[in-house]
Amino acid sequence: MGRYSAAWVAGAKANGVFPVVTVEFPSGTHRYGPAGADEDYPYEPRLAAVGRIKIGVPERPGALGFPEWTFSLHEGEDQAITLLLESQDVMGSPVTVAWLAHDADPAVSTIHQATLATGLLSRKKRGRVGQWDLTYSPDSRALKSKVTKQMILKGEHPLAVGNPWGIHMPQVYGVHDSAGLGGAGMLPAINISHSATLGYYWLVSQGYLVGVPQVFVDGIDQSGDFDTVRAVRAGKMLTYISFVGEGAAPGAAAVITVDAEGLETEGDGTGAGIANPVAQLRHWLTAFGIGDYKQGSWPAMNVLIDGDSWAAAETWAGKYGLEGAMYVGGVREQIEAIDVVNRWLETWPQIRLYWTHLGKLAMGLVQPVLRDSNVSAEHFIRLEEPEAFDLQPDDDTALIITRVNQTYLYDVGAVKYWQSLDLQDVSRDEEIADSIAAVYSAARLE
């Protein structure tokens, strides 16, 4: 369903529309409309202008854009806006911009609202004489959270060796398989216990993985000398390996690497592995990026995510057999959730993320327009209704890349890409080169 109801459309045709901006300041909610627009609606007649509201995506892959929109308020002789803005911290106040329309039937006298954009106040400045200009943008606070969030603590794992305390627990998605690469384990394992009494344990991932089929000690295959354990330790569901058998325990300085099939759909170790790259990012954002999953069933999809557009992108990725492999964390330095999102976007440049008018993260597919098509292409389509559309770049621009180098099949343990690919349009005289590092591409060679 779009933002314009049938009743709103009928009212707009019959009586016109007017804008209203609602701001939820810490001291209370204020509604601003233009002077003399509608005396029946409870708003303050201070709205001087509403800037153009555009829904779009970055032309370049690998980054989520953060649009900004503005509106202006008349000060008035009472200096009320100055007092309001300067007497409290208004940054981060929720903003809603809407078109209002009277019902087409005068006897009903109902006002219908069509939301144009939602966001948070991000800047304020004095504009023209007697006027304030206010800027708002989508609520991206959740994407600024530091990840990964759960740390290996000495109080919870006192018998570990190698000083793992302070390392943030990794999360593993997809298949990481070194068999076809002549490698010895694609992922590092982190010691959390080195005790003849309590066990010799190396952490592979937070959450329950489908499995850990191969383990290597200093590059030597340890088939038959380990168990894969899924258990709750210190309140967190973990997947780790336990060495078994006489003389099987590695030394304290041993380097342990593994091949693994990542987190699964059910949350209890019984589900299928999450292989679709769109499903991987959605799951990671919900459980770990925005959420702080520790144990139990997987949480429901986060409200920040626009479910329909992500489902369409997931179906498209499944149609073409796209497979992802993510490894997030496993280091001492945290990054922001948006950094993971942007790495994912760089890996899959044919997919874009953008903000809807309701402040949700939506996905769109970049589809080239065929040269012999009758479709009229624009540089990038920006629509009033962003539901279920394809993003179509113009193929007649000097900014189109003519040569691309992509590195892919990333090995976390070896810290390198195993494969690279060069593509070039030899029909173009001018070379405009770019490179893509597909860090979350499939991590196996069949």
Find, among 198, 192, 19, the residue nearest to 97 by Cα. 19
Q: What are phi and psi of 280, to 5 degrees?
A: -65, -50
- Residue 269 CB coordination number (10 Å): 16
CB 322 within 8 A of CB 128: no
E strands within 175-308? Answer: 175-176, 187-188, 190-195, 199-206, 209-217, 220-221, 226-233, 236-243, 256-263
At residue 375, the pLDDT reads 39
Q: Does 396 have pLDDT greater than 60?
A: no
Torsion sign (Cα): 257, 263, 264, 266: positive
Hey, is 22 helix, strand or coil?
Answer: strand
| Closest residue by Cα to residue 31 from 45, 46, 21, 41 | 21
C-alpha–C-alpha distance, residues 351 and 314, integer Å:
10
Element (H, E) at 291: none
Mean pLDDT of 108-114: 87
Model pTM score: 0.89
Q: How far apart are CA 261 and CA 153, in angstroms?
A: 26
Closest CA to 115 of 403, 292, 358: 358
- Parse the chain into domains and list their residue ranges: 1-139+349-396, 146-319
Query: Following CA atoms 245, 249, 255, 261 in sequence, which dihedral angle do they give, to the nearest 10 degrees?
Result: 40
Provide mean pLDDT across the span 199-212: 97
> Rounded to an integer, what distance in angstroms lies between the CA atom of residue 222 and that of residue 135?
59
Task: Quote the mean pLDDT of the chain.
Answer: 88
Indicate the angle between helix axes 277-284 and 337-347, nearest 10 degrees: 180
Helices within 76-205 (DSSP H only): 80-86
pLDDT tens digits, 336-380: 999 999 999 999 998 999 999 899 999 988 765 444 444 333 333
At residue 435, the pLDDT reads: 85
Residue 368 DSSP symbol:
P
- CA distances 198 to 121, 160, 242, 244, 245, Å, are 53, 11, 10, 12, 14
Q: Which of 49-53, 160-164, 321-325, 330-334 has the lowest mean pLDDT?
A: 49-53
Question: Helix 277-284 crosses helix 307-319 at what angle (to 10 degrees)?
Answer: 150
